[in-house]
Copies of this chain bind each other. A is one copy, B any other.
Amino acid sequence: MANSYDSGRLDLPFVGISTFGKRPYQPDWNALEADVAILGAPFDAGTQWRAGARFGPRGVREASTLFSFGHAGAYDHEDDVTYLPASVRIVDMGDADIIHTDTEGSHANIEAGVRAALRAGALPVVIGGDHSVNIPCIRAFDDQGDIHILQIDAHLDFVDERHGVRHGHGNPMRRAAEQPYVTGLTQVGIRNVSSTAREGYADARAMGSDIISVRQARELGTQALLARIPVGARIYITLDIDAFCPSIAPGTGTPSHGGFLYYEVLELLQGVAQGDEIVGIDLVEVAPDYDPTGSTTVLAAQVLLNLLGFVFHARGAE
């Protein structure tokens, strides 16, 4: 296990091409050899307030290089663990092809990317893009067995249809709940007014959702919150960056005050990674153009890298 700076280059974080974590780029999706496959999904035509999540994949990739000091793994002194040792193969697939003015075409390309990752046996990690990109992600799991969805988000995103719109960023959890292989949803962080009206909440509960606000989650504490999620399940995590407080995640389309702080989400993710099998991840709604200090992209990268560390530590990576 060698640090890269021991062999030739110091490779400071600000140096080099911005793939995710400076990991290898593999544009040939039929040749993926990876434990984790990163896919950008730069689609933002599903937004109802600010767009800009199309630059999310590039922004998160660049921020992820801040955590690349050339070490062979990421040492955490609190856990006394070195996460993500060199044995965990992370590969950057690049982006799904997006076709402007064409929601269905763009979604289909995202779906194809997730299917390619699954086919290669890799954990698909999709960086949005707005939350509508979750729709094709979930579709791609139709031959993977049952999954439970853990959504961390400010908004319920459970609108069925309005003015003909069924695939915008207010619809994905409804679309997911309709899938026979989605056995349930845990929706955490939900708060304030959104595009989902009262009836959407009733529908969600009727279709198997457990809805928990930020204040409810805080009152429960991490352990009791984890107890609300099925143990040992195959979990798909969809993380909307606006689940976080705008103080640390301003760079998003529809910010909502009263969100989670860093460790609240991190500890939830660590707990889920320890107790369940994580089968897919998307992180959406990062809009770098509303993030003048870089706080949001750094947060997204930091959370993703930690989550991947937790997942593979639970899988016994060394």
Contact = CB atoms under 8 A, between A and B. Distances in A.
A263 B215 contact: yes
A17 B16 contact: no
Given A69-B193, A100-B165, A55 B14 contact: yes
A136 interface: no
A41 B212 CA distance: 38
Nearest to A83: B193
Interface residues of A, number: 101
A100 B47 contact: yes
Contact of A247 (B14, B17, B295, B302): B295
Interface string A203-241: 000000001010110000000000000000000000000
A11 B99 contact: no
Contacts of A12: 48-49, 98-100
Contact of A101 (B11, B92, B103): B103
A246 to B, nearest CB: 5
A266 interface: yes
Contacts of A105: 163-164
**Oligomeric state, in copies:** 6
A90 interface: no
B215 A255 contact: no
A299 to B, nearest CB: 5
B97 A67 contact: no
B71 A197 contact: yes
Interface string A6-26: 001111111111110000010
Nearest to A169: B100
A100 B52 CA distance: 14
A163 B290 CA distance: 30
Nearest to A197: B71
Interface stretch (A74-82, A120-128, A145-153, A268-276): A74-82
Contacts of A181: none
Interface of A: 3, 5, 8-19, 25, 40, 42, 44-52, 54-55, 58, 61-62, 66-67, 69, 71, 74-78, 82, 92, 94-103, 105, 132, 156, 162-165, 167-169, 190-195, 197-198, 201, 211, 213, 215-216, 245-248, 250-251, 254-258, 261-263, 266, 289-295, 298-299, 302, 305
